[in-house]
Structure 1
């Protein structure tokens, strides 16, 4: 029997980021920082995948991706 396990992953497109810092200000866990004018994920393990960064990014540079892994 095979079951699907869903998880989420934080994805950042540094090429699209303009360094506005909106996501940094909204992150409730303080996971995001600005480094050299682009977004940086300090510790993805602390990220609760709430989606606030994705919701407010004007450049669509950060989003939560749903991943599915098959378990046997």
Structure 2
């Protein structure tokens, strides 16, 4: 399966609302997401390709794709 890279777009997590379920981490094809201290997901912007899989999988809908200055 081909990975769609969205130039300039990266995933951002609303850490105040994240429930740290790990669903996003499981579907991230580049391993860009970690669960930080069991509290919230954290995205490594250097690894994130902006594919949106994590956003679609998030049951709490707290992940968005936004333009990022990298």
Whether the TM-score (by the shorter chain) exceeds 0.5 is yes
What is the CA RMSD across the aligned residues, in angstroms? 1.5
Q: In structure 2, what is the equivalent of residue 32 of structure 1? A: 33
Give the 4+ runs in structure 1 shifted more than 2 A: none
Aligned residues: 60
Q: TM-score, normalised by structure 1?
A: 0.73
Q: TM-score, normalised by structure 2?
A: 0.75
Segments of structure 1 that go 5 or more residues without pairing to the other structure are 1-5, 68-72
Q: Going by fraction, where is strand more abundant, 1 or 2? A: 1
Report the structure number with the largest CA radius of gyration.
1
Segments of structure 2 that go 5 or more residues without pairing to the other structure are 1-6
